[in-house]
Amino acid sequence: MTSPSSCIFCRIATGEIPAKLVLQTDAVVAFLDVAPLADGHVLVIPRQHYARLEQMPPEAVSEVTRLLPDLGRALVQVTGAEGYNILQNNGIVSGQSVDHVHFHLIPRRSGDGLGYRWLAKQYPPGRAEDLQERLRQTLSA
Ligand code: AMP
Ligand code: ZN
């Protein structure tokens, strides 16, 4: 199992550094974010080191994502949140600060001030069709 000694989440997964663990399986660890955006903000990671989602085999993604419904349900029950966001950043440009794939579960309450809506754009004529075609070709290759 890849476990870079410099990766903080690998070190949490091996127990080398402490974290507030809430769920562990053979392949996955979930723990409280040390700097929560809301009470109960949880991170879910594969034990194995992958920097970005697209580097993970689908089975490894599935080991992580299959736990999300239970985690979401538990967060709502325990924190009294009305909902939650799931966020997964890839690349520095997206806001990823820890280079080990992680899913955020962020409990939400009305009036919590966290916001979410980013400014949507409009496609210029032809651009959506061009993207659709190229994506379809790439995905079917
Ligand atoms: P991201 O910006 O998507 O890479 O999120 C990284 C998250 O990891 C941030 O929300 C940090 O607060 C959290 N984090 C960093 N170090 C630790 C740690 N040692 N234990 C728990 N959460 C951490
Ligand atoms: Zn790692």
Model confidence at 3, pLDDT cuts 50, 70, 90, reads: confident
Query: Ligand 2 center to residue 99 CA distance, Å?
Result: 7
pLDDT digits (tens, 9 = 90+) for 43-97: 999 999 999 999 999 999 999 999 999 999 999 999 999 999 999 999 999 999 9
Report the nearest atom of ligand 1 relative to the CA of 35.
12
Site to probe by mutation for ligand 1, drawn from 43, 52, 92, 104 as the one with most ligand atoms within 8 Å of Cβ, is 43
What spatial distance separates the first Cα and last Cα of the chain, rounded to whole Å? Answer: 30
What are the E-state strand segments in the chain? Answer: 21-24, 28-32, 42-46, 83-87, 103-108
pTM of this prediction? 0.96
Is residue 138 packed enough to be buried (19+ CB in 10 Å), middle (13-18) or exposed (0-12)?
A: exposed
Rounded to whole angstroms, the maximal C-alpha distance in the chain is 54
Q: Which residues contact 11 (CB under 8 A, 6 or more apart)?
A: 5, 17
Say if residue 1's pLDDT is above 60: no
Mean of pLDDT over the chain: 96
In degrees, rounded to 5, the angle at the alpha carbon of residue 57 between the alpha carbons of residues 51 and 58 is 120
Asked whether 28 and 9 are in contact (CB, 8 A), the reply is: no
Asked whether 97 and 104 are in contact (CB, 8 A), the reply is: no
